[in-house]
Structure formats: structure tokens, C-alpha cells
Amino acid sequence: MGDTVRIKITQEEYESGIADCRMNLHGRVTLNKNDPPLTTQAFKLKLSSFWPNLLNWTIIPLEKGFFEFKFGSIEDMRKIWALGIVNLNYSILGFYCWTRDFKLMLKFGLD
């Protein structure tokens, strides 16, 4: 429709996708002033050293320092969420509960 792309899915597919996200968290990295931005690959490598016992997780860049984390189990997701804020020596990573209506502009007042 116009300039937007729409994909039709069934209610069952939608509910299945929402259920899959119950093991996801949103996270935001706050870098120190004048630090260069991180690549997603470098960021995942850094986090892997902090989380050596987590084997099945992925990271998806969103924008403005936000990422979506997908974990292999609810237990793994809860362990990471329980950490609250992670000090990465050069930056800080905070976690937020995943929500289906996550919008940076509304939640954090970012433009």
C-alpha cells in the first residue's frame, strides 16, 4: 500500500511469533563520550566473554544503541535480566523487558 510493505499472516502465526519472543530482552548500550560505535559482531564477542555459559543466544541491532537479545531458554533470559546493568568496562548495558509495541521514540523520547 503506497510506500509501505504489508505482509499478511494468520492469527496462529502471529500468536506463535509473540510466544517465541517470551525469551527476548531489549538492551541499550551507553558508550562513553567520544567512544567509537560498536559493531554487532564485536559487541556479541565482548558479551560472550561475560556470559560464557550461554550457548544459544543472538543479538539483533535496532538503532540508537538498542539491541534485541534472543535467548535459547527462559532460564537464560531470566539470568541475564537479573543482572540489571552490566558494566562493560567502556560502556554500560541495561536491559528492558521485551514488549510487542517497543518503540524507541515513544519509550525513550528519541528522535
- CATH code, domain with 102: 3.30.70.330
Q: Which residue has the cell 533470559?
A: 77
**What pTM did the predictor assign?**
0.74
Quote the pLDDT of residue 111: 46
Q: Quick one: which of 35, 23, 21 has its CA closest to 92?
A: 35
On whether the CB atoms of residues 48 and 69 are closer than 8 A, the answer is no
**Residue 40: inside a domain, yes or no?**
yes
**Residue 6: inside a domain, yes or no?**
no
Q: Is 12 helix (H, G, I), strand (E, B) or coil?
A: helix
**Residue 87: inside a domain, yes or no?**
yes
How many domains does one find in the chain?
A: 1
Sign of CA dihedral 36, 31, 101, 25: positive
The three three-digit cell numbers of residue 93, written as one number: 548495558
The three three-digit cell numbers of residue 75, written as one number: 532460564
Cα–Cα distance measured from residue 9 to residue 64, given in angstroms and rounded to the nearest whole number: 29
**Residue 29: inside a domain, yes or no?**
yes
> Burial level of 71, CB count in 10 A (0-12/13-18/19+)?
buried
Quote the pLDDT of residue 1: 58
**Residue 16: inside a domain, yes or no?**
no
Q: What is the pLDDT along the chain (111 residues), one digit of tens a residue?
A: 578 888 888 989 888 877 777 888 988 888 877 777 778 998 898 888 888 888 899 999 987 788 999 999 989 999 988 888 888 777 788 887 776 665 654 444 444
**Residue 7: inside a domain, yes or no?**
no
**Residue 98: inside a domain, yes or no?**
yes
Quote the pLDDT of residue 100: 63
> Which residue range forms the structural domain that includes residue 67?
22-108
